[in-house]
Amino acid sequence: MSLTLNQVSYRYPGTTQGLHDVSLDVRSGELVAVIGPSGSGKSTLLKLVAGLETGHSGRIALDGEELSNTPVHHRNIGMVFQSYALFPHLNVLENVAYGLKLRKVPAVKRLRRCQELLDVVGLSDYAARGIAQLSGGQQQRVALARALAIDPRALLLDEPLSALDASVRGHLRDQIRAIQQRFNATTLLVTHDQEEALTMADRVAVMKDGRLLQIAAPRELYEHPANRAVAQFVGLSTLLPATVCANDRVDLGFAELAAPTGARRPGSAVHVLIRPEHIVGDPPPGSLNRLIGRTGAKRFLGALTRYDFEVPGASQSFLADSTKPASESISIAPEHLLLLDD
């Protein structure tokens, strides 16, 4: 099953807020994560696909079949929300069986399917438990089993891990991804947690102000962000204004550096993006793109130390990751200066 959004726009009545001309597709069995700042339209996108909001323009289709005219309960889409939204008066097994019962699946078949799913989410021994007797992580696994029980055409996950402790979150993230792959479920995941998106997704869609800025595989997004907004939202970086001053040279005001300028003409305004792992501490004198300065704040991260490096005249410090912070200079290889057009 593939999910396709084609030029989807939506406006909340009486406002200018919503979605603007969003086109994206989730291929069969793919997990696409949607990230973006609060208010960027992530939940709106999910609600439109689920049918919880209606009245958009453009097309939302599952395997080419337009969804607009299909009511929520006939879309056969599995959903897992941030609030576990389980039925508190039903036990674990009854919760998982809920959708199957609605669809009038015979009892024997229903039981077999539920047992299979509880096994997949590692809760076979909890079938008769009440929901209140489960931890948050267990409740979310029940919600996932319930969503998958109906053999959904697509799976929508809305911040499924955000209410959980960090220690549970990491583990459950891996579990959800493994189960999603095992079921080959076409999945749209909304999260505010970029690490979650980058680690779980086949592709990540970045939204801002109701628009889709870029959709790409995690590494592609990190290494080749389409613009400054994506660069700032995905991963850590130093982003500095600069002007192309000659072929393969940029002027940052406080220094001139070698960088691949491509087809840009001298005088073009750009921003230079540098990822922390690409900053080399204390290179030999005479190294290309060497900058003299001093180390500022340091944060110990175990294997690495993340530090600020202050260069006189620069409007902000450079953010660097290294096993050993620089003492008096840094350098960045030209190919690691990524230029983004203003």
User: Which residues lie near ligand ADP (CB under 6 A)?
Assistant: 12, 15, 17-18, 36, 38-44
The four Cα atoms 48, 49, 51, 57 give a dihedral, to 10 degrees, of 50
The residue (of 53 and 251) whose beta carbon lies closer to ligand ADP is: 53
CA pair distance 271, 151, nearest whole angstrom:
47
Residue 148 contacts residue 99 (beta carbons within 8 Å) = no
- 202/220 Cα distance (integer angstroms): 11
**Residue 286 region by backbone torsions, left for phi larger than 0, else alpha for psi between -120 and 50, else beta:** left
Asked if 234 and 206 touch (Cβ cutoff 8 Å), the reply is: yes
Strand order in the sheet with 294-300: 294-300, 305-310, 318-322
Beta pairing, strands 211-216 & 238-246: unpaired
Q: What is the C-alpha end-to-end distance of the chain, expressed in Å?
A: 39
Residue at token pair 């669809």: 103
Q: Beta-carbon neighbour count of residue 76 at 10 Å?
A: 15
Cβ proximity to ligand ADP, 47 vs 203, nearer residue: 47
Closest approach of Cβ 70 to ligand ADP, in Å? 22
Nearer to ligand ADP, 17 or 232 (CB): 17
Shortest CA distance to 146 belongs to which of 86, 188, 88? 86
Q: Provide the β-strand partners of residue 203.
A: 32
- Please give the Cα distance from 189 to 54 (Å, whole number): 20
Hey, how many other C-beta atoms are within 10 angstroms of the C-beta on 290? Answer: 17
- For the bound state, the minimum distance from the C-beta of residue 41 to ligand ADP, rounded and expressed in Å, comes to 4
Q: Is 112 left (phi over 0), alpha (psi -120 to 50) or beta?
A: alpha
**∠ Cα 206 152 110 (to 5°):** 150
Across 140-170, b (16+ Cβ under 10 Å) vs e yields: bbbbbbbbbbbebbbbbbbbbbebbeeebbe
Any idea what the Cα angle at residue 27 is, between residues 21 and 29, rounded to 5°? 140
Q: Which is nearer to ligand ADP, 39 or 130 (CB)?
A: 39
Least Å from the CB of residue 314 to ligand ADP: 33
